[in-house]
Amino acid sequence: MQMAEQAPMCILVCGGAGYIGSHTCVALAEQGHRVVIADNFTNSSPRVLLRLQRIMGTPVECVRVDLRNRTAVARLFARHRFHAVMHFAAMKAVGESCAKPLEYFDNNIGGTINLLQAMQEASVERLVFSSSATVYGDPERVPVAEHSRLDAMNPYGRTKLIMEQLIGDLCRACSSFRAANLRYFNPVGAHPSGLIGEDPTGVPNNLMPYICQVAAGRRSKLSIFGGDYPTPDGTGIRDYIHVVDLARAHVDALEYVMRSDANLTVNLGTGRGVSVLELVHAFERASGCHIPYEIVARRPGDAAQVYADPSLANRLLGWRARFDIDEMCRDAWHWQSLNPDGYERGSPEVAGPGQHQSART
Ligand SMILES: NC(=O)c1ccc[n+]([C@@H]2O[C@H](COP(=O)([O-])OP(=O)(O)OC[C@H]3O[C@@H](n4cnc5c(N)ncnc54)[C@H](O)[C@@H]3O)[C@@H](O)[C@H]2O)c1
């Protein structure tokens, strides 16, 4: 669907210093929107701000704030006039969520309640929310459509489901409030500049950063969890989506909630399932590196195959993924090679005038 151009807006990007949020800031700036990042940097580096400045050619405003701090969040809304909010700020590691469920509920749900309250008090009534395919659990059939059974299988997934429900209840209670729940499948890759990308702290939880670190020599080999799934090569199948495609979908979803009378819940994936071994081989082609691996026991709770039916996003937003798996691997490797230790020691930070403005609330 071709939409008319949206007038420039001021968007609050909660969790905008993180992996997907930072790429979305770039996509928003490309459309002429102004972004204000709110982040507590628990899973990101302030160095991303200088990288964003370098890509965007302008300083990025950022406020260091924890969404659990209600007073600080209210102050943020008192100081700015936001047209809409994008909400990426959450803890996202499945394993950690099983070990620390209260922390996950406190951070993800507590932070979201504060944010929604502040939005309501400031009459900011447009929200784009980061949900996840994890809300489907182990799906009964693939490709997974939005009306599939919801069955989060771990505390992280349950926080996503509860946040979707919270937002849905608010939309029902307040007829002028509009929200888009975006259910991401498996975001990978990086901005083609190699300036921003995924920078996990500690041992990566996701496959692509792990493969990158093996290729870079930081880890000796990849452990593949399960080689006996009922899939063509026995390894698990997922729907990998380039983070730049994902970021673009946020701009489309923002335009949708600004214009439409309806709320939105859509899958964001390519619709193509790729096995772990296929991804490993694609990465080897893209990087020229050999990835040693061993197949170990399945991880409890991992589904054999999960990939999206992305047709609703295409129908409602006119969005579809453009990058294929080879391009995802190419850009992931480009980021990794330029930044072997993530943001801590990477390519030179920033050239050009101006500093980012970083305020504390
Ligand atoms: N990356 C994935 O594979 C994936 C898949 C599905 C859904 N998601 C969701 O997308 C969103 C973004 O994911 P990401 O990969 O960019 O994660 P990320 O950890 O890189 O980014 C999240 C950002 O939020 C910040 N944050 C966390 N809690 C906060 C709080 N209480 N107050 C302020 N800032 C806080 C972190 O410091 C970080 O910068 C998350 O909500 C995640 O659950 C991610």
pLDDT digits (tens, 9 = 90+) for 188-215: 999 999 999 999 988 898 999 999 999 9
Contact in structure between 9 and 33 (CB atoms under 8 Å)? yes
> Which is nearest to 314 in space by CA: 2, 5, 31?
2
- Report the 10 Å Cβ neighbour count for 135: 24
pLDDT band per the 50, 70, 90 thresholds, residue 5:
low
The answer on pLDDT for 282 being more than 80 is yes
pLDDT of residue 321: 98
Question: How confident is the model over 219-236, as a mean pLDDT?
Answer: 97
Residue 361, classed as helix, strand or coil, is coil
pLDDT digits (tens, 9 = 90+) for 74-109: 999 999 999 999 999 999 999 999 999 999 999 999
The atom of ligand 1 lying closest to the CA of 134 is 6
Q: Is the CB of 158 under 6 A from ligand 1?
A: no
Mutate to test the pocket of ligand 1, among 14, 25, 39 (most ligand atoms within 8 A of CB): 39
The answer on pLDDT for 355 being more than 50 is no
pLDDT digits (tens, 9 = 90+) for 254-263: 999 999 999 9
pLDDT band per the 50, 70, 90 thresholds, residue 345:
low
CA–CA dist 53, 64 (Å, integer): 17
Nearest CA to ligand 1 atom 20: 18
The atom of ligand 1 lying closest to the CA of 89 is 24
CA–CA dist 201, 342 (Å, integer): 9
Contact in structure between 84 and 58 (CB atoms under 8 Å)? no
Q: Where are the beta strands (DSSP E) in 222-319?
A: 222-225, 237-238, 240-242, 264-268, 274-275, 293-296
Question: How confident is the model over 267-287, as a mean pLDDT?
Answer: 98
Q: Domain 10-360 carries which CATH code?
A: 3.40.50.720
Q: Is the CB of 275 under 6 A from ligand 1?
A: no
Identity of the residue numbered 325: I
Any idea where the domains of the chain sit in the sequence? Answer: 10-360
The atom of ligand 1 lying closest to the CA of 187 is 3
The answer on pLDDT for 4 being more than 90 is no
Question: How confident is the model over 123-150, as a mean pLDDT?
Answer: 97
> Which is nearest to 77 in space by CA: 28, 36, 110, 113?
36
pLDDT of residue 116: 98
Half-sphere exposure of 104 (CA within 13 A, CB side): 21
80 by Cβ neighbours in 10 Å (0-12 / 13-18 / 19+) ranks as middle
- Cα torsion for 158, 229, 275, 155, to the nearest 10°? 10
293 is catalytic: no
The answer on pLDDT for 347 being more than 90 is no
Q: Helices 325-338 and 276-287 meet at what angle, rounded to 10?
A: 60
15 CA to centre of ligand 1 in angstroms: 6
What percentage of the chain reaches a pLDDT higher than 90? Answer: 90
The answer on pLDDT for 120 being more than 90 is yes
- Output the average pLDDT for the chain: 93
Residue 89, classed as helix, strand or coil, is coil
